[in-house]
Amino acid sequence: MLDRDKIIQEAIDRCLEEMYQKSQPKASYYDYVAKAKRGEISKDELIYERHYLNKKQFDYIRKKYIKAYRLQNE
């Protein structure tokens, strides 16, 4: 069953994947999730600290997903 929570989680996952793909160094959010599930990454590791994404790109990607998934009040 498709519900709002699943749609929001999909939006978050896709947004994070794009952010990691555009970051320096480039990475895959989905790969990190898989590694965490296998126990290769501890819950205490702050993976995002390994990557850089400038604020302008961060804001652009974030706003794009908010608009695409209609997550803002209208």
Give the type of residue at 12. Answer: I
Q: Which tokens sit at 18? A: 């794009």
pLDDT at 21: 98
pLDDT at 73: 73
pLDDT in tens, the chain (74 residues): 778 899 999 999 999 999 999 999 999 999 999 999 999 998 899 999 999 999 999 999 999 999 999 888 76
pLDDT at 74: 66
Residue 51 and residue 24 in contact, taking contact as beta carbons nearer than 8 Å:
yes
Q: DSSP assignment of 4-66, as one string?
A: HHHHHHHHHHHHHHHHHHHSBS---HHHHHHHHHHTSS-TT--GGGG-B--HHHHHHHHHHHH
